[in-house]
């Protein structure tokens, strides 16, 4: 009986779809293609130019976008939780309804970026330039942190990171 239970369990686990990154999808984005609703989990896009891509609804959880260029890229509804976005240049990018919880957005440039409905809980915006960002609300920023060099739209403020 134990052997049968183990065999059934092993068969179920092997037949489950993998939640790991899709290397061909990551390579496609690096080659200049859009990839909406793709699995880009833990993708390494540091120093890459991924501007003007459509990555709407994609899973970019724990991805490295540090020092990348993502101008006018569509990240709407994407999961960017725990992503490293240090120094990203995201002019005009669309983060509407994206999950940016626990993301490191330190030193990022977000002029003209759309954050309407984005989740920023636990995000670190220290040194970020977001004065020209659209769709940011005080409610979103209440769950995030920054520092004295964080630039936000007029009337908004952010708590210091601990």
| pLDDT one-digit tens code per residue, 100-120 | 999 999 999 999 999 999 999
Domains and CATH numbers, the chain: 36-162 (2.160.20.80)
Per-residue pLDDT of the chain (162 residues; tens, 9 = 90+): 556 444 444 444 433 344 568 999 999 999 999 999 999 999 999 999 999 999 999 999 999 999 999 999 999 999 999 999 999 999 999 999 999 999 999 999 999 999 999 999 999 999 999 999 999 999 999 999 999 999 999 999 999 999
Measured between alpha carbons, how far is 138 from 101 in angstroms, rounded to an integer?
15
Element (H, E) at 28: helix 23-30
CA gap 158, 144 in Å, rounded: 7
- Model pLDDT, residue 24: 96
């Amino acid at each position: 009986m134990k052997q049968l239970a183990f065999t059934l369990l092993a068969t179920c686990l092997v037949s489950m779809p993998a939640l790991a990154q899709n290397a061909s999808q990551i390579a496609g984005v690096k080659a200049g293609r859009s990839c909406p609703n793709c699995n880009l989990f833990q993708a390494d896009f540091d120093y890459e130019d991924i501007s003007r891509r459509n990555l709407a609804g994609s899973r970019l959880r724990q991805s490295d976008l540090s020092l990348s260029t993502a101008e006018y890229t569509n990240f709407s509804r994407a999961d960017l939780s725990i992503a490293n976005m240090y120094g990203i240049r995201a002019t005009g990018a669309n983060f509407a309804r994206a999950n940016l919880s626990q993301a490191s957005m330190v030193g990022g440039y977000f002029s003209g970026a759309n954050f309407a409905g984005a989740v920023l809980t636990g995000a670190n915006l220290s040194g970020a330039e977001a004065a020209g960002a659209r769709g940011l609300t005080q409610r979103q920023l209440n769950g995030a942190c920054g520092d004295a060099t964080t630039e936000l739209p007029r009337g908004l403020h952010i708590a210091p990171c601990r």
